[in-house]
Amino acid sequence: MKQPLRTIHVELVARKLEKLSGYLQELEELSNISLEAYERNAPAKRAIERLLQIIIETACDINGHFIAKLAQKAPATRRASFYEMVELGILEPDTAERLARSVGLRNRLVHDYNTLDNRLVHAAIREALEQYAGYGRIMHRYILEDGGSASGHYAKGDDPPL
């Protein structure tokens, strides 16, 4: 028997997923920039860095909502939020591992601006587009199939709706 779980705020998650999709489209428009152009073009560089940051933060916000509602706690950290989504049966472990690693980039973008490796950030463009588009599809499918209703949630150990 499934444990009673709090309701996911589907409209909130859908809005965040829509924003995530928009950020990914913006990043896609900048994705063909060469490393040399990225290093020389300060406005494009800052736009890419900011988009990477808010893409990662938006996913962490979505994770936080699910964790708060389904596990009735706050995520331990942004990085841990992806692993906690595995515990909830929403993300696969390998997906969570790839996404969790990107939180390190977010932290460097926010806290170590002067010591960023341009090659690392430039390479992260394509990775973010692939990984976070996949994350968005998983989460969108989850709220569509589940509808956010308590009766449709899957407790740990049950088959997730992926």
Q: Is 78 an annotated catalytic residue?
A: no
The catalytic position among 65, 78, 79, 111 is 111
Neighbouring residues of 49: CB distance < 8 A, sequence distance ≥ 6: 109, 116, 121
The catalytic position among 79, 106, 122, 153 is 106
Between CA 118 and CA 121, with CA 119 as vertex, the angle to 5 degrees is: 65
Letter for the amino acid at 41?
N
Q: How far apart are CA 112 and CA 116, in angstroms?
A: 7
Altogether, the residues listed in the chain come to a count of 162
Alpha carbon 81 to its chain's center: 10
**8-state DSSP, 67:** I
Q: Is 153 an annotated catalytic residue?
A: no
Helix (H/G/I), strand (E/B), else coil: 73: coil
Q: Active-site residue numbers?
A: 106, 111
